[in-house]
Amino acid sequence: MKNALVTGGAGFIGSHLCEFLLKMGLKVTAMDNLITGDLKNISHLAKSRNFSFIKCDVSEHITINGKVDFVLHFASPASPVDYQKAPIQTLKAGSLGTHNTLGVALAKKAKFILASTSEVYGDPLVNPQLETYWGNVNPIGVRGAYDEAKRFSEALAMAYHRVHKVDTKIARIFNTYGPRMRKDDGRVVPNFIMQALNNKPITIYGDGNQTRSFCYISDLVEGIYKLMMSDINEPVNIGNPEEHTILEFAHMIKKIADSKSKIVFKKLPQDDPHRRCPDISKARKKLKWEPKIGLKEGLAATVGWIKQH
């Protein structure tokens, strides 16, 4: 049986990843300091004898006993609300945390999978974004702690690959949504859904013409797994290339939630990207992966989950 260590394992994406890896027959250890993660996300996994949890901050020393075949580094605040509240912890997760987890991978001769982000492209000047695009990032802006932490993580992963021959994988994750998102995490999906379900004004920042592409969580974790099992070492975009304006998205959620909410507009935050859409040609060709869940289907499932919880 193969063994996987998932940092950030009690978070939104991390918990789904732990669940998927268990279903694929791996033994999984989740690690989280619970700054933004929640044990409720993995409580149902505790019944499995192949699952364990360690409370630990990845920016501190990591000790893992026994065999490890895969190290998946997903620990970091990820929403603008979270990483702007905790910029230093975010930078530590991307620097010290990446260094520590790469050290585990090196010592255990394990594959290393990094959760990077579309934020490495900043406010892009090209659309859609290819992996060869170097980005347009403000390193000292309010989003800089997250953006630069991930860019440094990528550089460090590639350095370990080139110098120490660690088998590294870099997933550039685009906007992902689905069950287990924190309702107060500040990102557009839970924000709009909570406002719509409570018939409160749906708040759009800017004129609503900025675009995003939204990937359902089950599609994302399948893409991560295929990248993990591949022989690719350079970055790969994992996301849904179907692009929507934020205004279109607000109307869609309002309809699905059967909401009476009005749509209101507020000032666009500093460095907020105007366009965000992945070119997934590489994932399609090399991983034979592309998303399957349509936006309406995924949003209906997410709205249903938030209603229940």
Could you report the per-residue pLDDT of 3-29, keeping only the tens digit for each?
999 999 999 999 999 999 999 999 999
pLDDT tens column, 159-186? 999 999 999 999 999 999 999 999 888 8
| Separation between Cα atoms, residue 273 and residue 261, nearest integer Å | 25
Domains and CATH numbers, the chain: 3-177+215-241+276-292 (3.40.50.720)
Per-residue pLDDT of the chain (309 residues; tens, 9 = 90+): 999 999 999 999 999 999 999 999 999 999 999 999 999 999 999 999 999 999 999 999 999 999 999 999 999 999 989 999 999 999 999 999 999 999 999 999 999 999 999 999 999 999 999 999 999 999 999 999 999 999 999 999 999 999 999 999 999 999 999 999 998 888 899 999 999 999 999 999 999 999 999 999 999 999 999 999 999 999 999 999 999 999 999 999 999 999 999 999 999 888 788 889 999 999 999 999 999 999 999 999 999 999 988
For 206, list phi and psi in degrees, rounded to 5: 95, -160
C-alpha 61/C-alpha 131 separation (Å) is: 32
Alpha helices (runs of H) in the chain, residue ranges in sequence order: 12-23, 80-85, 87-94, 96-108, 144-164, 188-197, 217-228, 246-256, 281-282, 295-308
* 57 vs 35: CA distance, rounded Å: 9
106 phi/psi in degrees, rounded to 5: -65, -45
Residues with catalytic roles: 146
Model confidence, pTM = 0.95
Q: Is the peptide bond before 128 cis (omega within 30 degrees of 0)?
A: yes
Check: CB of residue 171 under 8 Å from CB of residue 116.
yes
Both tokens assigned to 307: 């209603």
Q: Is the dihedral of CA 212, 215, 221, 222 positive or negative?
A: negative
Cα 274 to Cα 150: distance, rounded to the nearest angstrom: 20
